[in-house]
Structure 1
């Protein structure tokens, strides 16, 4: 099916009620990607499942998966993505690794960003190492779509937070990547407070543990990464303001760059607000 250029280059509606019917249908068919958060949240994952599963040869799993999503009232948003991914993971776990890899590839490379989001949650039922879990999530962390990148860190955050020292060791290497999306992932996945996720109490109280990553990115050239580092430190400032103040003072002396100055401004915004 050829998608018209005007559809692919649209800016996206600001309200769900303003999404054109044609766009909503194409999103729920898995034919196009969402272009903003409004569209991303408007996808009906039950309808999407009905369109996607038969196309990849999993129509026999459709009834049970949809039944569970309806039972848990998970037809849209983050809850739907998490649950759908986990249900699909169980549905294809039939002891045939080759078949499993086939389905994972189908979902991971799907044209719909929502389907790729499901795939990011399709390794949670398996007893694999932290290194293997990170290797699995790498392509999602590097995805061109904003929604898939956010889901990538949400899907693995709990695993990493339970093995924090080892996670930081591994992520410190990832933070050397040439890909700004991967560098940003390293910071976002262990933000002390995070967004739509449980806080990481260890980092709220001991933010110094993340210094191997933070120091490496203190003058990153990417604004996308700068924002993440600044937000990380702003999180930390709500429980350990002295740590953030001292670190920002040190960074100002060590790195007299616009990038570092921008990070520091973001990092200290809560501290300045409460002065």
Structure 2
């Protein structure tokens, strides 16, 4: 396993930059040269757009993901082809391209994002919620209503998206002030998942509540007490223990 970007071998990096393999770790994903991968994935992208990508090589990865998506949309690339690409990074660009479709309604964006939220690669699933999160946060109550049915989806990945996308604090993303102050607004997403059998979902719910506990600790304590009384099974116990891990 690669411990740092410099530890990714030249042979492995060539495969990643050529788009012929998916990244196995976050480190490998961070090592990818976006301009090289863009040229390999979409040979007709054009020299000017590749130069724009190279000019942003020092930017954070989220900004570079968004720029790659913008360049692909400018080139009228078929999003379906991106979504089926071997490279998880290219599929991640598709996530940001969907989020950049300003003319689409939130239900349309969610419908397009769903296969990527259920992607087999861990990285694509993260890009799916990160890309759409600003739009979800901008229409918070509508987003919660749209995501509520996802909490009953057969796929644990889709159920996890419904929770993870609107964490009050989250990772690599802006905080959602409304949910830091009023976490109860997200109960239509949290309540159905309080005894979810999947550890992947349990961790997301616990992390959501741990986020909320940093600004509303008593609400988290009260909710966990209620859940343990209503549903004292192993899944709920695990969620509530992890949710309160930062509380004294």
TM-score (norm 1): 0.87
Q: Which residue of 1 aligns with 2:66?
A: 82
Q: Which residue of 1 aligns with 2:104?
A: 128
Residue in structure 2 matching 1:262, options 223, 238, 244: 238
Question: Aligned equivalents of 2:25 and 2:237: distance in 1?
Answer: 29
Residue in structure 2 matching 1:26, options 4, 15, 18: 15
Question: Aligned equivalents of 2:48 and 2:220: distance in 1?
Answer: 49
Structure 1: stretches of 5+ with no match in the other structure: 1-11, 93-99
Structure 2: stretches of 5+ with no match in the other structure: none
Question: Aligned equivalents of 2:113 and 2:48: distance in 1?
Answer: 26
1:130-165 superposed Cα distances (whole Å, 9 cap, x missing partner): 100101111110000000000000110000101111
RMSD in angstroms over aligned alpha carbons?
Answer: 1.3
Question: Aligned equivalents of 1:126 and 1:62: distance in 2?
Answer: 24
> How many residue pairs are counted as aligned between the two chains?
247
Residue in structure 2 matching 1:201, options 174, 177, 193: 177
Residue 161 (1) aligns with residue 160 (2):
no
Q: Which residue of 1 aligns with 2:25?
A: 36
How far did residue 75 of structure 1 move?
7.2
Q: Which residue of 1 aligns with 2:88?
A: 113
Question: Aligned equivalents of 2:188 and 2:167: distance in 1?
Answer: 14
Q: Which residue of 1 aligns with 2:41?
A: 52
How far did residue 78 of structure 1 move?
2.5
Q: Give every structure 1 segment of 4 or more consecutive aligned residues whose post-TM-superposition deviation is greater than 4 Å.
A: none
Report the structure number with the largest CA radius of gyration: 1
